Structure 1
């Protein structure tokens, strides 16, 4: 017997799965876009501040590299959020797959971070915030995946109303 993922019949507050997935898609897009714009602003501010004496050129390069890597990551996440929205509006489940896959990977990474942080310094307020974030992300993932399966045409599992 295999592991089955619970399927939802509706989103919170009685919204349809399509409406819930649309809201989640727009939330993800706006969040990712805000972070991307912030990272770009930080990069430009950092380049402007290079004329000021800094602690170490190696530290500067490391910081700049991290900002650039994060900006590229959030550019990709912004595109994936757009794919989720496109797949939702056009009812094309294939366009929703990247968001589902990346959200699942993000949940696993976040849980690993919470476990390692708790093991090294004990449970903190940040860990509690991360657990709440993971819980919401799991719910969002269930909503999107349920709609994905609905579009694909094979729920195959008894649905739950939440």
Structure 2
């Protein structure tokens, strides 16, 4: 059956915990999305306004343009990801408040996939940093990964437990 809890942190119900998780994630994704949109606009403007630099060679300018274009593309991909996470977080909050497990399940699946990808990304990032002699940065990346992953796992367990409570009544109550 996996890990199941009877209540969320601070003694609140699984329903309340799931609603709070959904709302907090939606707010966080929304704020981060605004930052990503503003940063994307800034990088695009920086790329477009770089032509007026007299001390820069054509080769340096082309390399800068390529880097800025790649950064803008990366930011757009991040924005699309954030929109998807925002939608899933809203579905979670609505599904939990209306006791609709079919609206909760997409968040669980998305969160598990996101967790796995994040762990892989952090490990690669830490490996690159340590390989380049930046041990402190690599260790910081791994510690950050461990803390963030532990919190995300707990959130997944809470929401999954609530999903089980809705789809299989009695399972959580019978859990020791």
Same fold by TM-score greater than 0.5? yes
For 1:106 and 1:100, the matched residues in 2 are separated by: 10
Question: For residues 110-140 of structure 1, what are the alpha-carbon distances to aligned partners after superposition, in whole Å with 9 as ceiling and x for unaligned?
Answer: 3333444555526502211110110000000
Shift of 1:42: 1.0
RMSD: 2.0
TM-score by length of 1: 0.86
Tell me the number of residue pairs that the alignment of Structure 1 and Structure 2 aligns. Answer: 157
**1:118-133 matched pairs, under 5 angstroms:** 121=130, 124-133=139-148
User: What SS class does the counterpart of residue 76 from structure 1 fall into?
Assistant: helix
Matched, 1:29 2:45: no
Note the residue ranges of structure 2 that are not aligned, 5 or more in a row: 52-60
Give the TM-score of the pair, scaled to structure 2: 0.80
Match of 1:52 among 32, 35, 50: 50
Structure 1 stretch displaced more, 35-44 or 122-131: 122-131
- How many Å apart are 1:98 and its aligned residue? 1.2
In 2, Cα distance between the equivalents of 1:155 and 1:113?
A: 38
Aligned pairs for 1:80-119 within 5 A: 80-117=88-125
Question: Relative contact order (alpha carbons < 8 A, sep ≥ 6): 1 or 2 greater?
Answer: 1
Kindly indicate whether the alpha-carbon contact (under 8 Å) linking 2:91 and 2:103 is maintained by their aligned counterparts in 1.
yes
SS state of the match for residue 56, structure 1?
helix
Structure 2 match to 1:61: 69
Q: Aligned pair in 2 of structure 1 residues 113, 48: CA closer, same or farther (>3 Å)?
A: closer
Runs of 4+ residues over 6 Å off in structure 1: none
| SS of match in other structure, 2:2 | coil
Larger Rg: 2
